[in-house]
Amino acid sequence: MKTTKEENKGKTVLITGASNGFGMEFAKLFAQDGYNLVLVARSTERLKNLGYDLQDEHQLEHVCIITSDLTRPEAPQEIYEELKSSGIQVDVLVNNAGAGLHGFFHETDLEREQAIIQLNINTPVALTKLFLQDMKQRNEGKILNLASVVSFMPSPLMAIYGATKAFMLSFSEALTNELQDTNITVTALCPGASNTMFFRRAGAAHTKAANGSLSEPADVARDGYNALMNGEMRVVSGLMNKVQTTASGVLPDSATAATMRHLMEEEESETTNYAE
Ligand SMILES: NC(=O)c1ccc[n+]([C@@H]2O[C@H](COP(=O)([O-])OP(=O)(O)OC[C@H]3O[C@@H](n4cnc5c(N)ncnc54)[C@H](OP(=O)(O)O)[C@@H]3O)[C@@H](O)[C@H]2O)c1
């Protein structure tokens, strides 16, 4: 059940990828409800500006900024140890940081793709392992994992990205079952194409998907936040995305793959629709 601001006071959320997009919106929502913040990403100044503004606005007890490149295998352990040595307990973990790379797999750069697998899979798995063990001892905690609508279908021209998101959905739902007799919940948030830096960073700014109808990050984060607070296993954000993921359950994978490929092909016009 949703907890009140008073009940949350003194609790702490760790959000990866909090410098932009959904992560920034999550930070605002948690701060509004009185959570202390641990914000992680590479852009220190953006994290500081966001974190300290939210601390002032909502009189938070503490805000911790951690600059870390989460493609480094040692990053999760470093973050865990830094928080342990500062005596900060993580009550909610939001595995949000992620990235993609557009292109045919036989042409894309393997090193970049392996870094994406590290960022999108290995890092959230390791963070979950570390913080879940502590949550298990307290028999309390919440974890939100960023999956995607592409978790449900093949993702041509972003094959590695789609596979990482399928992993995150499967991983989250398995943990939900394992933890069903505890007070710990795991929620997978599945957004569709959204108005963040994601497409531009993935080299996909000129695709049809990036120039179609985009969800606003504040709406997506709100859906994820509500589902997390209600202990739901999974939420697909947005009506059309719900329709798309439901249809993917009955259509052959070859058909959904063809649709996804069409969306990930270059748009003919030069205009772009994503966040600048
Ligand atoms: N936007 C969409 O259409 C969409 C749809 C479905 C799912 N998602 C998922 O939603 C999550 C958030 O994406 P977004 O759309 O908000 O994208 P975004 O605007 O590009 O933000 C990505 C965040 O991840 C951080 N990040 C990226 N690489 C990092 C690294 N190596 N180390 C540490 N932090 C890193 C970025 O911070 P720094 O650059 O400061 O490090 C930034 O804060 C991702 O998992 C993405 O896969 C996005």
Residue range 149-178, pLDDT digits in tens:
999 999 999 999 999 999 999 999 999 999
For residue 122 the two structure tokens come to 């290995």
- Is the distance from CB of 236 to CB of 242 less than 8 angstroms? yes
pLDDT tens digits along 191-224: 999 999 999 999 999 999 999 999 999 999 999 9
Domain with residue 54: its CATH number is 3.40.50.720
Pocket test for ligand 1, best of 14, 38, 42, 260 (most atoms within 8 A of CB): 42
User: Cα–Cα distance between 216 and 195 in angstroms, integer?
Assistant: 6
Is 161 tagged catalytic? yes
For residue 15 the two structure tokens come to 């959000």
Per-residue model confidence (pLDDT) at position 9: 74
Residue 125 lies in a domain: yes
What does the DSSP 8-state code read for residue 71?
Answer: T
pLDDT tens digits along 25-80: 999 999 999 999 999 999 999 999 999 999 999 999 999 999 999 999 999 999 99
Residue 276 lies in a domain: no
pLDDT tens digits along 214-253: 999 999 999 999 999 999 999 999 999 999 999 999 999 9
- Ligand 1: does its nearest atom lie under 6 Å from the Cβ of 21? yes
Which residues span the domain enclosing 244? 5-264
Distance 182 CA to ligand 1 centre (A): 30
- Measured by CA distance, the residue closest to atom 7 of ligand 1 is 148
Residue 270 lies in a domain: no
Per-residue pLDDT band for 276 (boundaries 50, 70, 90) equals very low
Residue 274 lies in a domain: no
Per-residue pLDDT band for 275 (boundaries 50, 70, 90) equals low
**Phi, psi angles (nearest 5°) of residue 194:** -135, 160
Residue 275 lies in a domain: no
Residue 174 lies in a domain: yes
Exposure string (b/e) for 100-124, b if CB count within 10 Å is 16 or more?
A: bbbbeeeebeeeebebbbbbbbbbb
pLDDT tens digits along 99-120: 999 999 999 999 999 999 999 9
**Phi, psi angles (nearest 5°) of residue 98:** -170, 165
Q: How many domains does the chain have?
A: 1
- Is the distance from CB of 35 to CB of 18 less than 8 angstroms? no
Per-residue model confidence (pLDDT) at position 217: 98
